[in-house]
Amino acid sequence: MEETEESNANKKCTTKTRSFRGRHQYQYQYQHQLLHYSNQYGFCNQNQNQYQSYYPALLPLPPQIPLHLALTPPIPQNHTFRTKTHLQKPSCKLNNTPLAASSETQVQNVTISPAPEGVQRPKSLPPKDNNGRMVIGSRSPQALVAATRPDSGGVEGPVISLLANHFLVQFDSSQRIFHYNVEISPNPSKEIARMIKQKLVEDNSAVLSGALPAYDGRKNLYSRVEFQNDRLEFYVSLPIPTCKPTLLNGEFSDLLEKHQQLKLFRINIKLVSKIDGKELSSYMSKEGDDWIPLPQDYLHALDVILRESPTENCIAVGRSLYSSSMGGIKAIGGGAVGLRGFFQSLRPTQQGLALNVDFSVTAFHESIEVIPYLQKRLDFLRDLSQRKTRGLIGEERKEVEKALKNIRIFVCHRETVQRYRVYGLTEEATENLWFADRDGKNLRLVTYFKDHYNYDIQFRNLPCLQISRSKPCYLPMELCMICEGQKFLGKLSDDQTARILKMGCQRPRERKAIIDEVMRGPVGPTSGTQGREFNLHVSREMTRLNGRILQPPKLKLGDGGHVRDLTPSRHDRQWNLLDSHVFEGTKIERWALISFGGTSDQKSHIPKFINQLTQRCEQLGIFLNKNTIIGPQFESTQVLNKVSLLESRLKKIQRAASNNLQLLICVMEKKHKGYADLKRIAETSIGVVSQCCLYPNLSKLTSQFLANLALKINAKVGGCTVALYNSLPSQIPRLLRPDEPVIFMGADVTHPHPLDDYSPSVAAVVGSMNWPAANKYVSRMRSQTHRQEIIQELGAMVWELLEDFYHEVNKLPHRIIFFRDGVSETQFYKVLQEELQAIRGACTRFPGYKPLITFAVVQKRHHTRLFPFDTDPSSTQNQCFDENIPPGTVVDTVITHPSEFDFYLCSHWGVKGTSRPTHYHVLWDENQFTSDELQKLIYNLCYTFVRCTKPVSLVPPAYYAHLAAYRGRLYLDRSEPTGYMRSASTFSRAAPPKATPLPKLSENVKNLMFYC
């Protein structure tokens, strides 16, 4: 019995994207037709289970009984729709009733008891402290809310004119929107659901009061006018085209026999709520002192309305939409193609409701047959078409299964509109597969296809595709084709990543032109009629605003034991160390070098590399002994494949250093998965920091490469590159004092690969260990439940860092400034509520300790872009847009939150593409920073990052937390299989197990910046 993919999947393959295959022309015309129909008109067959007990585990099946025969009475041939009124319109009005259930839940037939019109829901508001901020004290979900903006914005720094890719949306707040819940059975795909809605609207204008409603393709329908009845039922008979290919002499012909199948659907529409925009207008206008929640229901309705037209013309992936009309399709190798598109999202801002639109690029699976796809995806199968008798051995089978798992496919040998999801491969080769038919007779798979389809299976030694999670359902690979419009979720190779980045790397002028074209184009958010239908006006002009440019801080460097000051004055704010030393250089007496692989010629560069590295370190004020503790160790690359052998080699070096090795430099022939094992063994078992580099870089030893290596080595061993000349207390004297230490903390969570539904997530927290310099950070890492965003052991990690801080500074910090990375806006308040409580809980473990806490979320994955705008008409327009905004550009008005404390800061210089400013959103602020104070503090910290001589784009505590979390992930990514990894042949999905603990760090490296 075959098992189809759930048809309400998010991905789509539509007519509009048929050009997705681009310049690739396939041999058989029927494949194009089947690809189109299988994706455009696929739906979930809900009656398939009745055949499970007696149908064979194969695709070819007789037509199944249509679901509508069991659900509905026969409908006359000339009758397409029928409308019933199940519930008369209630006399009282619905007001602020809940949203419809999600697409995963069945909406029950319940009676809605509305509140009388005009009666407002009581708002459960938390009490306020003396500073006007909400405090924790209630279990209400609204009891903990974000800090409000402390002022009207900062004033420091010269003003710069900017454009932002926010487009003002004007809406009539008195315009009511009627929200209806939609139930369609049998459950169709999004594409079919939109076709049903379109036909229903066209043929039932009177019943729908002449409305042109907006539909999200699932459960939610929005109308500007009320329908005639609050409950409606329709029957829609929709033609679903299919194609039947024919087989001649064992080969597929290009003759197509087209069919039109009428499919009957039942549609139930029920009024859920009546909403208007008054609360949204009040939310953005900041009227009144009371805090009110964001009116998500009205905002969601407007979002669906503005996405209706783009969704009909593009492939939707999350909040982004992709179309071949935006620059075509570009092959990026490995069975993947790059496609351009745009992101759109509604945001409440200080200027009003704004539509954030940005350029976007992502990778999709190339829509070709499975065999050619594997030839492109996997190097060891390049010659598969010439070696049809080839089978899969050992690791090859795992690689093929990994490449195909969860991909949606359709078949080419028979008439069908169904799509299937690949769950794995069969254990046996195709020629060895047998199945029992409905009479219990055993049939050989290859014989079955010959007898029923006159087709000889060519690749008999390859396994079949398994398309069921729990029961055997087989598909020969050569009869399958990859569906269009599937986002490539696998990890891109370095070459693929480079090609995708190149596609998405536009200078500011080009990026602005693309966004402007989207706003005026035929597939953008202003296309279609939905905006006019709901009295929406979307500006086609970017938002003009003023930003400010913060001045760079004076830095402190070393100079032969003396302190030297330097102010970065270049336009990119970089500085060099040609005539200076690092601020704090280390002394490395005992170190060793180990090499993995490499040619004889490459190995001959090692003595020169050691000599030049020690010289460069000396120039930078770092002492690196010219003699290693043991001669360079040359090992085969194969050592990296064997964990036990690798560990024995590293322990041998440690013993040669009398168990007191300070540094291990590892030179590799190329990037290798054994890198993860190397780091884990060195930092947990051996107790030494390591620095890796590649042989290709040793053949061209540049001063820049050696300096970068030296800076990383110095930081890992305990030194620091730079410090602020004017200490933070001297720059923010109102809040900070030299005798009241402050700890800066950063936290991040890294999750497994998108296709991994089993491995733990890894959380990391770092904390500064010196004051007032605040440029050395210690990390703590923990594994936690799969894809859990809340840091589960935050309290324990914060407590450990506070203890370490006390041992270093002899005081507990007076203030905690906490930067949280990797949190989406929908999770802000859940993270705040749970993690702020965890931080406070850690503090209570120290008697009488109550520091002042500031909790800020740091976001890099957003789509706001800023472009320089010269208001002088005599200036050259080309120069205006083709330069990135300068480092230090800060924006805290117009496009920021209407009332909460957030701002955009671009602290770095964008060398390639268009700069992405970092968004800082302060959720809690007991320290009562002003906008100027916090912006200056963060910008100054960005100059203290240890790995480079320029300001970085992310505040260092958050940056270090990201690096530490990635290092924890490496500890789990072992090159040899371990107990927590699933068998490749397992199809059932179990709940994620308890997280495998990370190995304990060695005491020798625990308090060093080994992760940087």
Please report the pLDDT score of residue 985 as a whole number. 41
* C-alpha distances out from residue 506 to 355, 361, 501, 511, 654, Å: 21, 11, 9, 5, 49
pLDDT tens for 103-161 read 333 333 333 333 333 333 333 334 444 444 444 333 344 467 889 999 999 999 999 99
Per-residue pLDDT, 881: 55
- In this prediction, residues 601-607 reach a mean pLDDT of 96
What tokens were used for 355? 């539509």
Q: How confident is the model at residue 758 (pLDDT cuts 50, 70, 90)?
A: confident
Chain centroid offset of residue 26 CA = 33
Q: How confident is the model at residue 414, as a pLDDT?
A: 82
- Mean pLDDT is lowest, of 54-68, 919-933, 949-963, 989-1003, for 54-68
The pLDDT confidence band at residue 5, using thresholds 50, 70 and 90, is very low
Residue 250 has pLDDT above 60, yes or no: no
Average pLDDT, the chain: 84
Q: Tokens at residue 785, please?
A: 């439940």
Quote the pLDDT of residue 105: 36
Residue 75 pLDDT more than 60? no
CA dist 591 and 689 (Å) reads: 10
- Which letter, b or e, does each residue of 201-221 get, where b requires 16 or more Cβ atoms within 10 Å of its Cβ? beebeebbeebbbbbbbbbbb
In a 13 Å sphere around the CA of 979, the CA atoms on its Cβ side amount to: 5
Residues in Cβ contact with 377 at an 8 Å cutoff, skipping those fewer than 6 apart: 334, 335, 403
Q: Which letter does DSSP use for residue 50 in this model?
A: G
Nearest Cα to 686, choosing from 653, 716, 639, 713?
Answer: 653
Q: Which long-range contacts (CB under 8 A, 24 or more apart) does 258-263 make?
A: 258/33, 259/415, 262/237, 262/238, 263/43, 263/66, 263/68, 263/237, 263/238, 263/239
Q: Which residue is it, tokens 């230490």?
A: 741
- Give the three-state DSSP class for 855: strand
CA atoms within 13 A on the CB side of 727: 15
Residue 988 has pLDDT above 80, yes or no: no
Q: What does pTM read for this prediction? A: 0.84
Q: Is 654 exposed, middle or buried (0-12, 13-18, 19+ CB in 10 A)?
A: buried
Q: Does residue 36 surpass a pLDDT of 50?
A: no
- Give the pLDDT mean for 612-619: 96
- Three-state secondary-structure class, residue 621: coil
**CB-CB contact of 1 with 51 (8 Å):** yes
Average pLDDT over residues 734-763: 94
Question: In whole angstroms, what is the distance from residue 688 CA to residue 665 CA?
Answer: 10
Q: How confident is the model at residue 504 (pLDDT cuts 50, 70, 90)?
A: very high
Is 79's pLDDT higher than 70?
Answer: no
Element (H, E) at 784: strand 777-784
CA distance 43 to 190: 9
Which amino acid appears at position 129 of this protein?
D
User: Which of 38-52, 322-336, 397-411 has the lowest average pLDDT?
Assistant: 38-52
pLDDT above 50 (res 332): yes
Instruction: Please give the angle made by the CA atoms of 995, 997 and 1001, to the nearest 5 degrees.
Output: 155
Assign 3-state DSSP to the chain and report helix, strand, coil percentages, each to 5.
Answer: 30, 25, 45
> Residue 229 has what pLDDT?
93
For the ranges 120-134, 314-328, 463-477, 838-852, the lowest mean pLDDT is seen at 120-134
What pLDDT, in 10s, does the model give residues 649-694?
Answer: 999 999 999 999 999 999 999 999 999 999 999 999 999 999 999 9
If one compares 327 and 353, the residue with the highest pLDDT of the two is 353
Helix 828-843 × helix 794-809 angle, to 10°: 50
Q: Which residue has the higher pLDDT, 67 or 362?
A: 362
Span 340-349, mean pLDDT? 97
Q: Is 499 helix (H, G, I), strand (E, B) or coil?
A: helix
Would the pLDDT of 41 be above 70? no
Q: How far apart are CA 657 and CA 592, in angstroms?
A: 9
* pLDDT computed for residue 285 by the predictor: 87
Q: What is the mean pLDDT of residues 583-598?
A: 97
**pLDDT 10s digits, 185-221:** 999 888 899 999 999 999 999 999 999 999 999 999 9
Query: Helix axis angle, 370-377 relative to 395-404, nearest 10°?
Result: 120
In three-state secondary structure terms, 200 is helix
List all residues 6 or more positions away from 360 whose beta carbon is below 8 Å from its beta carbon. 320, 322, 340, 341, 342, 343, 504, 863
Q: What pLDDT does 990 receive?
A: 56
Q: Residue 841 has which token pair?
A: 């809980």
Q: Residue 122: its pLDDT value, please?
A: 36
d(CA 890, CA 694): 38
Q: Which residue has the higher pLDDT, 929 or 77?
A: 929
Indicate the pLDDT class of residue 699, thresholds 50, 70 and 90.
confident
| Distance set, CA 274 to CA 96, 100, 123, 187 (Å) | 7, 12, 19, 26
**772: preceding bond cis by omega (within 30 degrees):** yes
